[in-house]
Amino acid sequence: SQTIHQWPATLVQPVGSPLSLECTVEGTSNPNLYWYRQAAGRGLQLLFYSVGIGQISSEVPQNLSASRPQDRQFILSSKKLLLSDSGFYLCAWRWGDHSPLHFGNGTRLTVT
Amino acid sequence: AQTVTQSQPEMSVQEAETVTLSCTYDTSESDYYLFWYKQPPSRQMILVIRQEAYKQQNATENRFSVNFQKAAKSFSLKISDSQLGDAAMYFCALQGAQKLVFGQGTRLTINP
């Protein structure tokens, strides 16, 4: 069966520090991968998605970036965090264009 | 562009009663899917039900059913025999080519 791992679960970082969140999927190949952010009490905002290695589509211009160095690995990064980057980050995957998304457990990021 | 609108930020219902959550959407694509996701306090995203746009028959999953009105671009979720475990944020989502877009969510409270 397929599983998705996302870490860390919680992170507190000072303004201006770098960020690296990692997500890996097991049990499938060539998944579509996604990064979403959820501000407190609000909906999910799509940040990045990838349909293959090295293929990244950005939905929101900001100081975040994403990379897919391996087929089942998706990394969300920042060189310098802003206070506005605080939120709940969710990684997700699906196989094919119309199957449901399967989510990781999320990372709660607090920028102080 | 794809948009999803949930006009009810909060809803409440008595245990064992029925509640309907509203969702409207907009898309220029002819091939798309619609989903309802549930997010309990643990913040894990859980798929509740899905609807293929090309199917006229409304989807049903146990106590959960949808009213899909394609011409009106409406996709409401009905929860029958509400249970305390149904308390959560509910998100409507639209899946077009590659991307899944979410509404802002409806917080559902179950009154015992």
**Is the pLDDT assigned to residue A40 strictly greater than 70?**
yes
Q: Distance of CA A104 to CAs A2, A13, A91, B44, B54, Å?
A: 11, 21, 5, 7, 29
| A75-84, A94-103, B90-99 — most confident range | A75-84
Does residue B107 surpass a pLDDT of 70? yes
pLDDT reading at A19 higher than 70: yes
Structure tokens at A27: 């049990």
Contact A57 B102 (CB under 8 A): no
Q: Report the C-alpha gap between A5 and B105 in whole angstroms.
A: 25
Chain B residues whose beta carbon lies within 8 Å of the beta carbon of residue A34: 100
Q: What is the mean pLDDT of residues A53-62?
A: 85
Residue A61 has pLDDT above 70, yes or no: no
Decide: B68 and B78 in contact? Cβ < 8 Å.
Answer: no
- Contact assignment for B103 to A103 by CB distance below 8 Å: no
- Contact with chain A for residue B64, Cβ under 8 A: no
Please answer yes or no on whether B105 and A43 come within 8 Å at the CB atom: yes
Chain A residues in contact with B1 by the CB 8 A cut-off are none
The pLDDT score that the predictor gives to residue A67 is: 96
The string of pLDDT tens digits covering residues B8-38 is 999 999 999 999 999 999 999 888 999 999 9
C-beta atoms of A43 and B33 within 8 A? no
Listed residue (A88, A49, A23) closest to B105, CA to CA: A88
Any chain B CB within 8 A of the CB of A34? yes
> Which pLDDT does position B18 carry in this prediction?
98
The pLDDT tens digits of the residues spanning B38-80 come to 999 989 999 999 999 998 899 999 999 999 999 999 999 999 9
Is the predicted pLDDT of residue A105 greater than 90, yes or no?
yes
For residue B49, CA distances in Å to A58, A92, B68, B89 come to 28, 17, 12, 14
Give chain B's length.
112
Q: What is the pLDDT of residue B100?
A: 87
- Tell me if A105 and B102 make a contact (CB, 8 A cut-off): no
Q: pLDDT-based confidence at B96, cuts 50/70/90?
A: confident
Query: Do A28 and A93 touch, CB atoms closer than 8 A?
Result: yes
Quote the mean pLDDT of chain A: 92
Two structure tokens written together for A93: 């995957």
Token output for A88? 């709940």
Question: What's the pLDDT score for residue A65?
Answer: 95
